[in-house]
Amino acid sequence: MTEQTLSNLLHENRRFEPPAELAAAANVKADAYDAAATDREGFWAAAAERLSWAKKWDRVLDWDNPPFAKWFVGGQLNVAYNCVDRHVEAGHGDRVAIHWVGEPVGDKRDITYRELQDEVSKAANALISLGVGTGDPVAIYMPMIPEAIFTMLACTRIGAPHTVVFGGFSAEALGSRIEDFKAKVVVTSDGGYRRGAPSPLKPAVDEACGIASRAGHSVDKVLVVRRTGQDVAWNDSTDVWWHDVVDAASSEHTPEAFDSEHPLFVMYTSGTTGKPKGILHTTGGYLTQAAYTHWEVFDLKPETDVYWCTADIGWITGHSYIVYGPLANGVTQVLYEGTPDFPERGRWWQVIAENKVTIFYTAPTAIRSFMKQGHEIPDKHDMSSLRILGSVGEPINPEAYVWYRHVIGGDRTPVVDTWWQTETGAIMISPLPGVTAGKPGSAMTPLPGITAEVVTDEGQPVDKGSGGYLVLTSPWPSMLRTIWGDDQRYIDTYWARYRDQGYYFAGDGAKKDEDGDLWVLGRVDDVMNVSGHRLSTTEIESALVSHPKVAEAAVVGANDPDTGQAVVAFVILREEAGDGGENIAKELSDHVRTQIGPIAKPRQIMIVPELPKTRSGKIMRRLLRDVAEKREVGDTTTLADQSIMDLISAGQATSTED
Ligand code: WTA
């Protein structure tokens, strides 16, 4: 929460009213806030009624043993049935579920709900034939191809919890997740297309299975989609081709209903320690809130809208707002495989124009990079079909918001700035497009049925016009249930800080403005947000320290005009490494890349003789951030050795930028 951000907010007084026509026909109107406040459980029960339950719940919420919640207790449902079959039964089998757009121009496939039902059923039967039963964990490491969605839904259809690992993660990161999750089967592809070239995935899976097996967990089967046709190493005892087992499988499969609290998926996310946290989401509450918020926040009209969310299915946004929410609502959506600007910078806008996309959901980091390229490129495409724009993943700067609304939305479209987290499972704080007058840069107010506050260290609500910590003050249906295999870490991370009040600590700083609207300012813990991706400082430090030349490392997130924050590392080398050699920065940067993945690569690595520490040995990241952001170094009086910052600043002269 820098002074500068706060003062910027103070000067922001632009307002955008909801378009009258949209407001008049909105799915959710202003009365929803009061209705939900009067009877919160009744409100969520009504939202759950939008789904199809094989057995209705006996109790909406069991919060007898906080922070362990159970929602729709005793209810039973099947997620794939809700996302697919019931739309076919309702007569929408011919509606396109997915307009898939591959990265190579012209590589396209339209999939109707009826076809989706066949594909998901075949994949479910194939998984069963590979030995996957109810409760057996499945890991998914795939590009943005339809088979990724078929696989996720097939897992839910048979009650096998999945974990999707982002395809940009390294073999090590995948291996540790496979091991932690105890995945029985891994589903992958030979590769995917990235910037016009096939980029391999299967070799990382092979390596990851080796890592998991050395750590004591063996994967039974690896199911491989042929996407690029690249050569792949083949292990006859584990590897099977998708086209052999799935294509041959029957398209008849009867979904079984599972308990509302049956584990649906685990999504790994960075925490403040080196070990990623496996965030567990369960069935009934998650699907209720993902589906309801998608319909509410995007004012979804499934008969006429064409929706597009640009997230990767490897992140929570891809889970809740590509797969589960939208498909539960019977939407027609675009799924795009590639990068935003390949083969030309206008690719996204061309996809919008061609498919007449009406609702578009993306991240501020993408908006900022397009903003840098100017309005001429988007101006060449007819995007008049758009009616609502969404933003997620990091604070959106007011200028980026206004540009997005103006250049992409032609000044017609409300922008919904949606705040939520992997842990919350679904959108929590956001304007409603037919109700709320949007302020650029503000996520505005908690949605109906959600209660949030901005509080002091002591847990007191701050006054209007002040900042503090963002907390959620009552349980919500799609909340995480625990950290996979680690209940204590769940309690300690989210519920210990405001134990007396029973608040969920989100880890974000926020400001409440004079009207009481919320401005989320970013992380207050050791988690960075680089291009909307959560990275832990400790995780990158551990990766650096695992390099033989490194003695100690400290990592900070520095403000960056393009990526929001960027990784800057301060490294002390081991004596025997001397000055590390002239390529040391690249060597260390490549090392982080193989340990975690390209997204974690430091923007800058500074070789320093010492790190600034307090007398108790805690690294003073605030001072390092000053150096990384090229500011005058702040107050150093609590440093054990005050001359260290001079040494570091001197070291800066010899720092290497990668
Ligand atoms: C940040 C992504 C400001 C925040 C859905 C949060 C945001 C973290 C916003 C979660 C927003 C997400 N405004 N900050 N609209 N949306 N964040 O788990 O710091 O990948 O804690 O979930 O992203 O990131 P995650």
Mean pLDDT calculated for residue range 15-38: 97
pLDDT of residue 3: 42
Domain residue ranges of the chain, discontinuous segments joined by +: 104-256, 525-657
Closest CA to 19 of 400, 514, 386: 386
Question: Model confidence over 134-172: pLDDT tens digits?
Answer: 999 999 999 999 999 999 999 999 999 999 999 999 999
Q: What is the largest CA-CA distance in the chain?
A: 74
Asked if 612 contacts 620 with a C-beta cutoff of 8 angstroms, the reply is yes
Q: What single-letter amino acid sits at 372? A: K
Specify the residue with its C-alpha closest to ligand 1, atom 7.
394
Site to probe by mutation for ligand 1, drawn from 268, 297, 419, 429 as the one with most ligand atoms within 8 Å of Cβ, is: 419
Least confident window among 35-49, 378-392, 446-460, 551-565: 551-565
Specify the residue with its C-alpha closest to ligand 1, atom 23.
393
Partnered with residue 546 across adjacent β-strands are none
Distance 634 CA to ligand 1 centre (A): 28
Q: What is the dihedral of CA 461, 465, 471, 473, to 10 degrees?
A: 50
Vertex 257: Cα angle to 280 and 136 (nearest 5): 45
- For the CA of 391, the nearest atom of ligand 1: 15
pLDDT of residue 9: 56
Closest CA to 186 of 203, 209, 167, 166: 209
Fold of 104-256: Rossmann fold (3.40.50)
Question: Does 636 have pLDDT greater than 80?
Answer: no
Q: Where are the beta strands (DSSP E) in 356-410?
A: 359-362, 388-392
Question: Model confidence over 543-595: pLDDT tens digits?
Answer: 898 899 998 899 999 999 889 999 999 999 988 899 899 899 999 999 999 98
Task: Please name the residues in contact with 643: beta carbons below 8 A apart, sequence gap of 6 or more.
Answer: none
CA end-to-end span of the chain, whole Å? 28
| DSSP letter (8 states) at residue 16 | B
Specify the residue with its C-alpha closest to ligand 1, atom 1.
394
Angle between helices 584-595 and 537-545 (to 10 degrees): 120
- List ligand 1's pocket residues with C-beta within 6 A: 269, 315-317, 392-395, 417-422, 443, 506-508, 520, 522-523, 529, 534
| DSSP letter (8 states) at residue 581 | -
pLDDT of residue 651: 59
Angle between helices 40-48 and 284-297 (to 10 degrees): 90
Q: Are strands 138-141 and 388-392 parallel, antiparallel or unpaired?
A: unpaired
Q: Identify the CATH homologous superfamily for domain 525-657.
A: ANL, C-terminal domain (3.30.300.30)
Closest CA to 30 of 432, 417, 415, 452: 432
Distance 57 CA to ligand 1 centre (A): 31
Distance 394 CA to ligand 1 centre (A): 5
| DSSP letter (8 states) at residue 639 | B
Q: What is the dihedral of CA 36, 41, 44, 46, to 10 degrees?
A: -90
SS3 state at 399: helix
- CATH topology of 104-256 equal to that of 525-657? no
Question: Model confidence over 379-430: pLDDT tens digits?
Answer: 999 999 999 999 999 889 888 999 999 999 999 999 999 999 999 999 999 9
Question: Does 311 have pLDDT greater than 50?
Answer: yes
Vertex 394: Cα angle to 312 and 143 (nearest 5): 10
What is the token pair recorded at 365?
């980091």
Tell me the pLDDT band of 1, cut-offs 50, 70 and 90: very low
Closest CA to 268 of 475, 484, 53, 4: 484
Task: Please name the residues in contact with 179: beta carbons below 8 A apart, sequence gap of 6 or more.
Answer: 211, 212, 215, 216, 217
Site to probe by mutation for ligand 1, drawn from 286, 392, 563 as the one with most ligand atoms within 8 Å of Cβ, is: 392
In 301-355, which ranges are continuous DSSP H helix? Answer: 316-318, 325-328, 347-355
